[in-house]
Structure 1
Amino acid sequence: MTVASARSAADGPAVVLDGVHKHYGSIHAVDGISLTVARGEFFGLLGPNGAGKTTLVEIMEGQRQADLGTVSVLGEQPWPRNVALLPRLGVQTQSSAFFVRLTAREHLQTMAALYRTDRQAAERALASVALTDQGDHRVDDLSGGQRQRLAIASALVHGPELIFLDEPTAALDPQARRALWEVLRDLKRAGRTIVYTTHHLDEAEALCDRVAIMIHGRIAALDTPRRLVAAGSPTTRLLVPAERLTLEAARTIPGVDRVVQEADDIVLETLQSGPVLAAIDALVGLQGVQTRTVSLEDVYLELTGTPQS
């Protein structure tokens, strides 16, 4: 590779897929996908189980061969298994394997040795996921959230350019999940390129620069969360405590398109939220009234017809 071509590869996209297909018999796991992930981008892959997300990520990682199409990762072909590319990639899977009888620090020192990087890399990786204080704890004594952070640290210990994260916050309680968000934001701020799968739509909306929603091996939508939401329904849902407003009274408010009762709330759907809120204020006041606009989850449900699972 010439100096000019090496510079071009370093400045080019992190991932380029063009017309990628992967079939398993009659099943089209990946059906003609083309996309580009820019350097430094936090890119999310969403979709129901069986949509083809895992197969697509494995193709990017070089673990699986595409049947058709071209794949470029950091300017190189990941398949046939590209050993020279592996140190530039970090991979965290849902079922990460650990040396459970070692401490967290020893585990990362072992990983660093496998990648022939310096021993201080383990300390840097521990610090990057806020596990320094747990460095001398055995892996099998760590909590679920701490193990998830250790899995990410294992993917980071050798300083990869491109990181693949598969459901890194799966099975975490809300507090641990939000704490891990900050770790992921720090990775983004450090300029890492991240390809990320998740079943948490709020998480994707909060963290990702762009998301691709996959259905049956194809991309149904690809854009920033903000633009996907903006292109969705303009309807606003106003939730009023049921003890304060009746269905009949809600239906008489000008500008209300639909009224339903959901649990303890009367839900008013409208395209004119300002005037309707003013009318509710005049009738019963605004205490306890909640406003719901379109979210990425609404866009997802409209496209797939199924909840994330």
Structure 2
Amino acid sequence: MHNPPRGPVYAIYYTVLAAIAVPANLVAIVILSRGRCGLSRCITRYLVSMAVTDLLVIITAVILNRIPGIYFPGSFLSITPVCSLNIALIHASRDCSVWLTVAFTFDRFVAICCQKLKMQFCTEKTAAVVIGTVCALGCFKSVPWYFIHEPTIIINNVPWYCRLRDIRYSSLVWTAFDWSDRLLTPCAPFLLILLLNALTVRHILAASRARRRLRAHSNGETQSDPEIESRRKSIILLFTISGSFILLWMTYVIQFLYERLTNDYKIKGFTDPKFILLESANMLQLLSSCTNTFIYGVTQNKFREQLKITVKYPMNVIDKLVK
């Protein structure tokens, strides 16, 4: 994350990504915070927190890291303490975003598959506690990233740029930390989301078959079921969010496994295939920080209605002022 690439493709990609992701996440935060999308307060809490952490990922990783490194190399953001702090913030915001997706997936799993636990767990208060705990642990886990970097060059007693200390490759402690960091984000979330979704799908299929048999036996024929239709709409949101996460993080997981299994960390330049794989993984996982808003727009009718109202509001104000 701390070695921005050069070239027009990267420059255009990260500029466009920031231009789309920032307003998209801000709009999602505003609309969801109003609570007018027909979602429970519990779900709304998770979605708002995910939008906030996604916005922080874009700010720290793209606006404060990628774009300055491409357009303004050598700015004050390249001073080693500032650079190290930003790297720690990138990891903190990324970890929070990823694990909040897991928390949301688990919450929906409980709501759909564990009816006895649903009343106690799927509440606004529990959601607030889970979100606070996830964010606190994410920040705490990312603190070592501030200390693992050293300056690349010192000019007039000012340390510039960041590179990993040699101890990162020779110390068992730092090696264990690096492995645990990657396993916790995103490998463990990757597997947990797959597992929870598989269990949820199995439960939904079994429950739907049983409900259809019951209704057919009671009514003598198969009719449309409002309960099944409502359940279908609710799980569409869950599966699109978690499915998007899996697809966009898959390259990152593959790159991590390749690097660790081959024990090959050296990159010869921006044209090195290993660098292209690494940067492609970074580009895709950063893209995941702006997709949720579009998912809401596609899957949620009331969100689209609120989006139209939000877009029209400034126009209506201007029209009133003109008149």
Tell whether the structures are fold-level matches, with TM greater than 0.5: no
- Report which of the two has the higher share of strand: 1
What TM-score bracket applies, with the shorter chain setting the length? under 0.3
- Report which of the two has the higher share of helix: 2
TM-score (norm 2): 0.21
Q: Looking at both structures, which has the greater relative contact order when contacts are Cα pairs under 8 Å and sequence separation is at least 6?
A: 2
TM-score (norm 1): 0.22
